[in-house]
């Protein structure tokens, strides 16, 4: 296993952050200073970060959480506000996969698997995320749906085409995007004339929120993990059903 991946599995940091630690000269293998993130290591090697020896790489684990409103998508908040990590009693160091705004609820994943987190969040993989959105100025117009499907011009550039459909009642829509810009769904809806009242993520890649209650979590099974790792990316995934 490459050293950066070993550190990520041990819960030290994400793989990208682990690479930075290694290049900065903060990691030793069997007492030797190593600056190459691709250095191969296994459970027989003694790996230390900042002088603290690790007990070994932990088994990857992924949890699905129904994030409540007002909870931050981070491991720690200096201001003492509640975070998603605090909702899962797990001895391993977890970090959220991507972000979900404090004023949004729904499905968020937490893991110690840096490789999987990167696969699910890096822009080049275009993993779909689906939201249920309640908006103002109902009913949602056909013009707005067409604009969302074709791409919306925002201050940081046009969005990629999205999947959008109006739900029963006319004041809600289901929106699937393959990007991860800051508050993107809210900005897209406002740009087409329907500011958001509430927003809930109901799917992330192949995984759906389902009946998971607000504040509850569950550990994903091996089949679910395999499905996430095999999640179609880019153009391959654009026809996938959620």
Q: Which residues are catalytic?
A: 101
Tokens linked to 194: 């329907």
Contact 163, 176 (CB under 8 A): yes
Token pair 């605090």 is found at 86
Tokens linked to 227: 């499905």
The H-assigned helical ranges of the chain are: 3-9, 15-23, 114-121, 142-150, 184-191, 222-229
In this structure, the chain runs to a length of: 242
Contact 120, 228 (CB under 8 A): yes
């Amino acid at each position: 296993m490459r050293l950066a991946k070993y550190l990520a599995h041990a819960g030290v940091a994400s793989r990208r952050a682990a690479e930075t630690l290694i290049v900065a000269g903060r990691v030793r293998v069997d007492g030797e200073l190593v600056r190459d993130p691709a250095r191969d290591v296994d459970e027989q090697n003694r790996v230390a970060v900042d002088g603290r020896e690790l007990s070994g790489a932990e088994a990857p684990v992924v949890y699905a959480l129904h994030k409540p409103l007002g909870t931050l998508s981070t491991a720690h908040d200096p201001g003492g506000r509640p975070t998603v990590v605090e909702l899962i009693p797990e001895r391993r160091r977890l970090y959220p996969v991507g972000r979900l705004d404090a004023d949004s609820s729904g499905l968020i994943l937490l893991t110690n698997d840096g490789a999987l987190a990167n696969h699910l969040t890096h822009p080049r993989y275009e993993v779909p995320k689906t939201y249920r959105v309640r908006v103002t100025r109902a009913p949602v117009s056909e013009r707005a749906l067409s604009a969302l499907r074709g791409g919306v011009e925002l201050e940081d550039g046009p969005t990629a085409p999205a999947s959008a459909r109006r739900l029963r009642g006319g004041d809600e829509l289901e929106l699937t995007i393959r990007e991860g810009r800051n508050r993107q769904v809210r900005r897209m809806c406002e740009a087409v004339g329907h500011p958001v009242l509430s927003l809930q993520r109901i799917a992330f890649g192949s995984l759906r929120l389902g009946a998971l209650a607000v504040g509850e979590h569950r550990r994903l099974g091996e089949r679910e993990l395999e499905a996430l790792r095999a999640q179609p990316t880019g153009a391959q995934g654009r026809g996938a059903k959620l």
